[in-house]
Structure 1
Amino acid sequence: MIKGFKEFILRGNVIDLAVAVVIGAAFTAVVTSIVNNLINPLLNSFFDAKSLDTALVFTINKSEFHIGSIIGAIINFLIVAVVVYFVFVFPMNMAKQRAERLRKKGVVEPEAPVTELDLLTEIRDLLQAQQSPPQAAGKHADPLP
């Protein structure tokens, strides 16, 4: 039972999920700060957004329905989505596209990871070099065996 629990905890998916939750919480703080300290004051300079909480309230059988609050939450969601897209997603996509264009042009980043194809090509070249007889000076080997 303890062995199974240990395998479960140390499984890559659980660790990745834990890291994602921690990073997500930190990311949420950044986005919330941008929205609360930049976007909301900008919107409040044009109209009072807090009035949505008290707008469109109606009562049925002593139950209050706050439609304005729902509309305010939807607007807040859209603002957060816009900030996330234009501050984080769009610049990251542009950076990826630029890196892809550079790679297609043959410019490879110095930290580019070695792929399986690179390793297989290197192994092939080494095997070919070991199997071919030494070439005499001035003579060229046939390119086809």
Structure 2
Amino acid sequence: MIQGFKEFITKGNVIDLAVAVVIGGAFTAIVNAVVSSIINPLVSLFFEADAAGNFGPTVTNIYGNEVTFPIGDLISAIISFLAVALVVYFVFVLPMNRYKEHQAAKNPAVEEETLPSEQELLIEIRDLLRKNNTV
């Protein structure tokens, strides 16, 4: 039972997923700080913020009110996703793949003896039965 649990835990997918969740959660604060302190001000250079602090293209609706499409939030979300994905890949996935390749090189897979197919077995049985019947 312990051996099965050990094999389950050491599978690359489980470790990759656990690390990605933990690091993604911790890295979110850093990414949000970078986006709010650098990216949002850069975007606001091109678009004026509305009363709620949203910035993006402003359109007047049919009632005469101005509506702002907050593309700053969209850009922030895209940058956050890409930053987390890059960090997870280069810090965790790539080294884990290299580790797996290293382990595979240390312990090359032994080719198992291929068993005959059902058809080959049936032919062999038929031939043996013919041989026994003729004797």
| Class of the TM-score when normalised by the shorter of the 2 chains | 0.3 to 0.5
Bigger relative CO (Cα 8 Å, ≥ 6 apart): 2
* TM-score (norm. length: structure 1): 0.43
